[in-house]
């Protein structure tokens, strides 16, 4: 048995009650527990995602953004939810005053959080209510998480920006040295933030909590004001659609990179097709895209037929802006600094209230047997290449593939060697210029067969997990 085969075998789980895949193992367990408590796939996805805000604080959090693709039990096509924060009202003027210098991190990069409204809108489609879905994450933050190798690595890669804005240290980056691998890390401030979220939902940052965020950002030279933090409803629209080789494929629409995914697939999905699809989209940083690691994903399915995939992010490249609000353990996203183009008069300039484009996107496919598959991965500029390769392998499966072979085929497609781009556009392949399993993809995927069998698949390259009941 090859390493790829063994990893593929461990990456998949199938059941009949429900299935959950998440970017952290405890989050998948929490999502599964929610299903056992009578929750549906929306409940499971939100609870797992909120747990990830504690387990993976560099990647996602209440001050980040949410993008989702979901399919209701009786729906014939998936819907998209995009909850990406808008530009602060004074950001354009501040950028002009600095001579349009890029502000990828730091106080001017902080934008308006979209995550509270996104989580809340998805939770409203569930059964258990926001308080019940937030409770596991609150308890986890108070009890403490076990500091993982992923968290340790991401702090090391972010230490310069964390230290620049918090020379006194943070709970994630203490001044006396890195947190030991396997140590218990309690996050009482984040527990308080999540407790407030359970009560206020989308209005999380409109009260005293928002005032603390504003004070910290403006104290460092940022421009976020209380009025900026008023919640804006997510964009909820039908997903974009394209027929690809006889299979219907959907993706989240602009301002996400979903349209680029569909364009790449329509042209065959080879590296040249992906390059062409991305050519009109501005690469916002000069950092190697493989090091962009500020996002996570969860996916859930239930016996009623609901399917959800959720992408949530603190943005580039990890720990967002680099600002962590003292006493709250709250990482502030830099979606504004990363997503907008800092050039006067540019159509993507940070005009007040405008939404920036985002690499975040999710996808769905329905094959001729009636089976649905939904998925996503983190990865910044690599999301389109990695999603293209995964979907291309699924599209290449035989149309008459027996249903009992589909889960293994899905896992094999996910574990197969993949390629990615450098910042200059060169190609890197696992097993060649990249180590085997060296890509930082972290796909989470769910499948619903026509007979009701539910499958979750989790990328073996990271600490992802798939659980089914």
Mean pLDDT of the chain: 93
Nearest residue to 365 via CA among 388, 385, 395: 395
Residue 465 has pLDDT above 80, yes or no: yes
User: What predicted TM-score, i.e. pTM, was given to this entire model?
Assistant: 0.95
The 10s digit of each residue's pLDDT in 386-442 is: 999 999 999 998 877 887 888 888 888 888 899 899 877 888 898 888 888 778 888
The 10s digit of each residue's pLDDT in 54-81 is: 999 999 999 999 999 999 999 999 999 9
Can you tell me whether residue 103 is helix, strand or coil?
Answer: coil
Q: What's the rounded Cα separation, in Å, for the pair 413 and 432?
A: 19
pLDDT at site 283: 46
Nearest residue to 67 via CA among 335, 400, 397: 335
Query: Residue 3: which pLDDT band, with cuts at 50, 70 and 90?
Result: low
Q: Please enumerate in sequence order all residues whose Cβ is within 8 A of that of 281, keeping only pairs 6 or more positions apart, or say none.
A: 257, 260, 357
Residue with tokens 């984040």: 190
Q: What's the rounded Cα separation, in Å, for the pair 170 and 186?
A: 12
Strands, E assignment, 54-169: 65-71, 79-83, 145-146
- Concatenating the DSSP letter of every residue in 166-226 gives -TT--SSS-TT-PPPTT-EE--HHHHHHHHHHHHHGGGGGGSHHHHHHHHHHHHTT----G
Quote the percentage of the chain above a pLDDT of 90. Answer: 81
- First-to-last alpha carbon distance for the chain, in angstroms, is 27
What values do phi and psi take at 113, rounded to 5?
Answer: -65, 135
Q: What's the rounded Cα separation, in Å, for the pair 269 and 271?
A: 7
The 10s digit of each residue's pLDDT in 303-312 is: 999 999 999 9
Q: What's the rounded Cα separation, in Å, for the pair 267 and 289?
A: 23
pLDDT at site 308: 99
List Cα–Cα distances, 201 to 119, 121, 205, 263, 447, in angstroms: 8, 9, 9, 36, 30
The 10s digit of each residue's pLDDT in 327-369 is: 999 999 999 998 999 999 999 999 999 999 999 999 999 998 8
pLDDT at site 53: 99
Containing H/E element for 29? helix 25-36
């Amino acid at each position: 048995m090859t390493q790829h085969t063994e990893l593929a075998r461990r990456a998949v789980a199938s059941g009949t009650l429900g299935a959950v895949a998440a970017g952290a193992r405890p989050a998948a367990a929490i999502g599964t527990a929610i299903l056992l408590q009578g929750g549906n796939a929306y409940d499971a996805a939100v609870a797992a995602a909120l747990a990830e805000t504690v387990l993976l604080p560099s990647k996602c959090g209440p001050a980040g953004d949410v993008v989702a693709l979901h399919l209701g039990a009786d729906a014939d096509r998936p819907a998209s939810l995009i909850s990406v924060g808008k530009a602060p009202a004074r950001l354009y003027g501040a950028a002009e005053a600095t001579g349009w210098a890029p502000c990828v991190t730091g106080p001017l990069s902080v934008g308006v959080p979209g995550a509270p409204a996104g989580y809340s809108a998805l939770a409203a489609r569930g059964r258990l209510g926001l308080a019940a879905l937030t409770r596991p994450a609150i308890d986890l933050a108070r009890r403490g998480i076990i500091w993982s190798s992923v968290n340790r690595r991401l702090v090391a890669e972010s230490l310069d920006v964390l230290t620049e804005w918090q020379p006194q240290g943070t709970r994630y980056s203490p001044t006396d040295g890195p947190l030991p691998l396997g140590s218990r890390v309690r996050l009482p401030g984040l527990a308080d933030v999540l407790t407030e979220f359970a009560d206020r939902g989308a209005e999380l940052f409109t009260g005293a909590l928002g005032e603390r965020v504003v004070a910290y950002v403006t104290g460092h030279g940022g421009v976020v004001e209380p009025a900026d933090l008023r919640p804006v409803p997510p964009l909820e629209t039908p997903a974009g659609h394209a027929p690809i080789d006889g299979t219907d494929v959907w993706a989240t629409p602009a301002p996400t990179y979903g349209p680029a995914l569909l364009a790449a697939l329509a042209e065959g999905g080879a590296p040249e097709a992906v390059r062409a699809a991305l050519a009109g989209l501005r690469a916002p940083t000069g950092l190697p895209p493989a090091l962009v690691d500020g996002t996570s994903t969860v996916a859930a399915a239930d016996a009623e037929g609901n399917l959800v995939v959720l992408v949530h992010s603190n943005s580039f490249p990890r720990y967002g802006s680099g600002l962590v609000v003292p006493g709250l353990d709250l990482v502030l996203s830099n979606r504004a600094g990363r997503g907008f183009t800092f050039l006067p008069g540019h159509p993507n300039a940070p005009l007040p209230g405008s939404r920036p484009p985002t690499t975040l996107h999710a996808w769905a496919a329905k094959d001729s047997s009636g089976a649905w598959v939904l998925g996503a991965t983190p990865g910044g500029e690599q999301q389109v290449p990695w999603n293209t390769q995964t979907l291309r392998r699924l599209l290449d499966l035989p149309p008459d593939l027996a249903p009992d072979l589909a889960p293994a085929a899905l896992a094999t497609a996910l574990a197969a060697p993949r390629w990615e781009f450098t910042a200059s556009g060169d190609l890197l392949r696992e097993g060649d210029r990249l180590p085997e399993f060296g890509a930082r993809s972290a796909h989470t995927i769910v499948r619903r067969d026509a007979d009701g069998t539910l499958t979750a698949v989790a990328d073996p390259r990271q600490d992802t997990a798939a659980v089914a009941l």
